[in-house]
Chain A
């Protein structure tokens, strides 16, 4: 009797074996699902996605960037050794290089407003659509919160085989949570503090709407009072002010878009910059605009903000 039970068990084992072969599947924000018959390990990623996944332990074989690598804030500080760069300008993915690498998956973020994945938007059109003949593309959706996006990256990384309990990953997350607590405390300690996120050009001052940037939504949800402009542009993200009207909004703290050093210099060169009292008082700090994708970078940004908030006089403007 034991012999036949044993034989039956073996048979069952053999029958079940093929079903245990690793399949990989991911559903993106639009509901489309990508399924592969193996866990992908030759992945080509957009720069922002690489910034999200590399710290979690998933390394792509190649990345494509919208600008030269040195100019991309999300990639700063990441170790990119061994990763091929297959595109360093918007809309220019070198398809032959990609084909030579024999990728099995493309990963990029889905932008609901553009209805496209990063790197495959509009004008790129069929330019980069051709890469889809080599492998499918999928990825998390850009939404209202960077923290949620990082969480999505954690889920994606885990499904790709990452060990989220690796010491570095755990340490990064712990550091972020510590920074977040300090940030929330600093904001709570100064209930009258208002902040204004801006971008500065020679032709005018551009004030950002909170709803237009995921990290601003995060800050607002943690208690930071952001001034909302009367938005004018068609997507509702920015209000343009002539420098004569630069003093329209008077915050206690000015947050300056830090994707480029030129922004701060341009702001300082304008005579009416100091008509914003916070700017005249030096209560100015960085706004990490649109490029945060991992806990380490977020922790650093929050620490900077916390320091600025703690140093600021919340009653500068009532």
Chain B
């Protein structure tokens, strides 16, 4: 009896430890994100003391407006930081969902061809249709959804196994990339520059007007993802176990993937395909949480932190040139993943 009692209390204690760890990690990540946003608001080529920044932030409430300062803080820096936050969160969510549903660490919108499809659609819009600005973003979303539908349909044979989905996705990504390469050789160099600039993923020129779809998407789909995510854990045990546990596999999988695709395409439409954020957020979050479970919110926070941080580095650390954030996220994300591989392998968890 005392043995059972000890076992029960140790399970409860263990669970509590895990909950505490989850809370610590999440709060810690949130604080990092806030700190990065504060940096983004105060650092810049336009000299602004912190006091002035705060005054500008409060000006909608206090009515004390200073046109020049407000333009910089509220018109340039704040929208950029918020865009980084929302896009990063959307990419992070999308990535962790893909990786969980498809049970494959390689799976993420970047690799499975979703963002490549969005990119190709955008390049077509820029180079062949000579479109500009918002219509390009619309084209990107359409491209992402079309290619996702294609991938799903093509990998359906009496059901969709995650493995086949990933394979078809990689094939589609290669086609999309080839189309982009072809268009690059046919276009005028200025159009190629435009396309390249969009393709690298950038927070440049972010405004609040652009954020509408993304903000709305996160508001609606974020909670939806959270609801759908819980049964996903049972999917990780394999289809048979999941069936036994009563989950309706196909519907849940499809629904969650759809949410992830829409999140990724809205984010891509807003800032372009920022590399590696979707791919790396999930593994980073899971590493920090250990066995503490639900990686959804932490992955979103990791995505936001990486995006905002990368943008800061891209803007300010390279002397005269300003680079788009996507260049740095690729490098950061890759380094982080390499570190994870090395660390995970050492502790014996293998690939």
Do the beta carbons of A90 and B46 come within 8 Å of each other?
no
- Contact status B45-A91, CB under 8 Å: no
A5 to chain B minimum Cβ distance, whole angstroms, is 48
Cα A92 to Cα B134 in complex, Å, equals: 18
Q: Does A100 contact B (CB under 8 A)?
A: yes
Taking CB atoms, residues of chain A closer than 8 Å to B72 are 96, 99
Q: Tell me which residues across on chain B come within 8 A of A114, comparing CB atoms.
A: 130
Report yes or no: B197 in contact with A123, Cβ–Cβ below 8 A.
yes
Are A126 and B205 touching (Cβ within 8 A)? yes
| Cβ contact within 8 Å between A88 and B75 | no
Q: Are B133 and A66 in contact (CB under 8 A)?
A: no
Give the distance to chain A from B202, nearest Cβ to Cβ, in Å: 8
**Is B195 engaged at the interface, CB distance under 8 Å to the other chain?**
yes
A28 and B162 alpha carbons, distance in the complex (Å): 58
CB of A95 closer than 8 Å to a CB of B: yes
B13 — which chain A residues lie within 8 A by C-beta? none
Of A88, A121, A133, A134, the contact of B321 (CB 8 Å cutoff): A88
- CB of A91 within 8 A of CB of B133, answer no
Task: Give min CB distance, A100 to chain B, whole Å.
Answer: 5
**Contact with A66, one of B47, B193, B205 (Cβ below 8 angstroms):** B193
In the assembly, what is the distance between CA of A66 and CA of B198, in Å?
A: 15
Q: How many residues of B contact A (CB 8 A)?
A: 36
Q: Mark A97-122, 1 if CB is under 8 A from B, else 0.
A: 10110100000000000101000011
User: Across the interface, which residues of B come within 8 angstroms of A95, CB to CB?
Assistant: 76, 205
- What 0/1 pattern do residues 29 to 55 of B give for CB contact below 8 A with A? 000000000000000111100000000
Q: Are B71 and A88 in contact (CB under 8 A)?
A: no
Q: Which residues of B contact A90 (CB under 8 A)?
A: 190, 193-194, 197
Asked if B294 is at the interface of the complex by the 8 Å CB criterion, the answer is no
In the bound complex, residues from chain B placing their C-beta under 8 Å from that of A99 are 46, 68, 71-72, 76
B131 interface contact, C-beta 8 A: yes
**B204 near A92: Cβ-Cβ < 8 Å:** yes
Does B181 interact with chain A (Cβ within 8 Å)? no
**With an 8 A cutoff between CB atoms, is B207 at the interface?**
yes
Query: With A90-B190, A94-B45 as given contacts, are A122 and B131 in contact (CB-CB < 8 Å)?
Result: yes
Q: CB < 8 Å: which of B44, B126, B194, B210 contacts A126?
A: B210
CB distance from B240 to the nearest CB of A (A): 49
Contact B45 A129 (CB under 8 A): no
Pick from B46, B195, B320: contact of A88, CB below 8 A: B320
- In the bound complex, do residue A125 and residue B46 qualify as a contact, i.e. CB atoms below 8 Å apart? no
Contact A126 B207 (CB under 8 A): yes
Knowing A96-B76, A100-B45, A126-B205 are in contact, say whether A91-B71 is a contact too (CB < 8 A): no
Q: Please judge, given known A-B contacts A95-B76, A97-B45, A123-B126, whether A128 and B205 are in contact too, CB under 8 Å.
A: yes
CB within 8 Å of A: which B124-155 residues:
126, 130-134, 136
Contact call A91/B136, Cβ cutoff below 8 A: no
Instruction: Kindly state whether residue A196 has any CB partner on chain B within 8 Å.
Output: no
Q: Is B185 an interface residue (CB 8 A)?
A: yes
Give Cα A127–Cα B132 distance, bound, in whole angstroms.
Answer: 11
B322 touches A89 (CB 8 A): yes
Q: Evaluate whether A123 and B194 lie within 8 angstroms (CB atoms) in the complex, with A88-B320, A99-B46, A99-B68 already known.
A: yes
Query: Are A96 and B44 neighbours in the complex by a CB distance under 8 Å?
Result: yes
Residue of B nearest to A68 (CB): B321
**B-side contacts of A129, CB under 8 Å:** 205
B133 is contacted by which of A87, A125, A233 (Cβ under 8 Å)? A125
Whether B190 pairs with A121 at a CB distance below 8 angstroms is yes
Q: How distant is B131 from chain A, measured CB to nearest CB, in Å?
A: 7
Q: Which residue of B lies closest to A122 (CB)?
A: B132
Interface membership of B349, Cβ < 8 A: no
How many Å from the CB of A246 to the closest CB on chain B? 18
Cross-chain contact A203 with B68 (CB below 8 angstroms): no
Q: What are the interface flags for A264-307 relative to B under an 8 Å C-beta threshold, 1 for contact and 0 otherwise?
A: 00000000000000000000000000000000000000000000
Other A-B pairs beyond A97-B45, A130-B76, 14, CB < 8 Å: A88-B321, A90-B194, A94-B45, A96-B45, A96-B72, A99-B71, A100-B46, A114-B130, A121-B132, A122-B131, A122-B194, A123-B195, A125-B136, A127-B205
Top 6 closest pairs, chain A to chain B, by CB: A122-B132, A127-B205, A123-B194, A125-B133, A96-B46, A96-B45
B contact set with A: CB distance below 8 Å: 44-47, 68, 71-72, 75-76, 126, 130-134, 136, 185-186, 188, 190, 193-195, 197-198, 202, 204-207, 209-210, 320-322, 324
Binding site for B on A (CB under 8 A): 66, 85, 87-92, 94-97, 99-100, 102, 114, 116, 121-130, 133-134, 203, 233, 235, 237
26 A-B residue pairs with CB within 8 Å: A85-B320, A87-B322, A89-B321, A91-B193, A92-B197, A94-B45, A96-B44, A96-B46, A97-B46, A99-B71, A100-B45, A121-B132, A121-B190, A121-B194, A122-B131, A123-B126, A123-B194, A123-B197, A123-B198, A125-B132, A125-B133, A125-B136, A125-B205, A127-B205, A133-B71, A235-B188
